[in-house]
Amino acid sequence: MHPAPSLILFTTLSGLGFGLLAWLGFGLKAPTGFAAIVFFGLGYALAGIGLLAAAFHLGHPERALLAFTQWRSSWLSREAVLSAATLAVMAPHAAASAFWGTPLPVLGWLGGLLALATILATAMIYAQIRAVPRWHHWSTPPVFLLAALAGGALLAAKLTAALWLMLALSLAMVAHWVAGDRRFAGSGSDAGTATGLGKIGKVRLLEPPHSGRNYLLREMVHVVGRKHAHKLRLIALGLGALGPAFLLMLPASYLTALLALVLHMTGMLAQRWLFFAEAEHVVGLYYGR
C-alpha cells in the first residue's frame, strides 16, 4: 500500500494525542491549573493535527461532515464520530481541571474510554480490510492501541506505566510482523484464484492492461518499501519501543524522558511507514506483483 505522509501523520499523531487524553481522563491525580492547560492542550493539539492531516488525504474535504453518518457499518465513520465525541466529552473535564482545579472524574473516565475506542476504530479501518491480508489480523489493533498508550504515558509522565507499555508494544510489533509475513500465503489468494485459471495450470501475467501506471498500482501496489522492510523493522523496534524502554529504566530525569519521547516518535514514524509500505494488496495478483 502507498505510504501516504498524510496517513502516517494522522495515525501517529492522533494516536499519540488520544493516548495522552486517555491517560488524562483516567488519571487518578489529574493535573490541575497551568499544568492541566499544558497537558490537555498538547493532547488536543496532537489529536487535532492528526485529524487535520487525515482531512488533507480526502479528495473532497468540504463534504467531510457526511463521514459522521455511516457509523452503523463503517469503521472510518465510527472513527470520526468517536474522535469528535472524545474531544467533546473531555472538554468540561479539561476546563474544570485547568480553571477551577477540580477534575470531573466521571467525564474524565468516559472521555478516556472514548479515546481508547477512537484508537481502536482507527486500527479497525485497516484491520477490517480482507484484501490486505497483512492488516486483516488480530495483531493490528494491539499495535495501534499499545503505541498510543505507551506514547501517551510518556507524555503524561506516567513513566513506570510507559516502561511496561513500551515492552508490550515491542512484543505486539514483533507478533504483527511475524504473523504478517505468513498472512498473504494464508489468505489462499494467488494468481490462480484471482483469475480462476489455477485449475488449468500455472498462471503468469503476459500483458498488463496498459503500458502506463494507474491509480490502483500507485495506491495499492507499492513494491519499493518491501526491499527495506528488515532494516525498518529494526529501527521501529529499537527506536520505537526498546530504546525508550531502556531510557525509562535509568533514573528518571527530564532529559531521559525527552530523549525517550523523541526516539519513540521517530521509531513509530518508521513503523507506520512500514505498516503501509510492506502491506501487499491482493489486487497485485492481477498485475503480476
CB 61 within 8 A of CB 53: no
Q: Between 196 and 251, whose beta carbon lies closer to another protein?
A: 196
The whole-angstrom separation of Cα 243 and Cα 13 is 20
Pick the binder of another protein from 3, 32, 85, 187 (CB under 8 A).
187
Query: Which parts of 14-33 interact with another protein (CB under 8 A)?
Result: none
Whole-angstrom CA distances from 162 to 20, 31, 63 are 11, 18, 38
CB 75 within 8 A of CB 125: yes
Q: Between 130 and 230, whose beta carbon lies closer to another protein?
A: 130
Q: Give the x-and-dash track for 115-154 against another protein (CB under 8 A).
A: ----------x--xxxxx----------------------
Q: Give the x-and-dash track for 249-288 against another protein (CB under 8 A).
A: --------------------------------xxx--xx-
195 binds another protein (CB under 8 A): yes
Q: How far is the CB of 275 from another protein (least distance, A)?
A: 13
Q: Between 37 and 76, whose beta carbon lies closer to another protein?
A: 76
CB 82 within 8 A of CB 121: yes
CB 260 within 8 A of CB 154: yes
CB 86 within 8 A of CB 122: no
220 binds another protein (CB under 8 A): yes
Beta carbons within 8 Å of 18's beta carbon, 6+ residues apart: 43, 47, 83, 86, 115, 116, 118, 119, 148, 152
Query: Which parts of 51-70 interact with another protein (CB under 8 A)?
Result: 57-61, 63-64, 66-67, 69-70
Cell numbers standing for residue 2: 502507498
73 binds another protein (CB under 8 A): yes
Q: Between 124 and 145, whose beta carbon lies closer to another protein?
A: 124
Q: How many residues does the chain have?
A: 289
Residues touching another protein, count (CB under 8 A): 58
Cell numbers standing for residue 202: 500455472
Report the amino acid identity of residue 99. F
Q: Which residues form the interface with another protein (CB under 8 A)?
A: 1, 57-61, 63-64, 66-67, 69-70, 72-77, 80, 125, 128-132, 187-189, 191, 193-197, 199-210, 212-216, 219-220, 281-283, 286-287
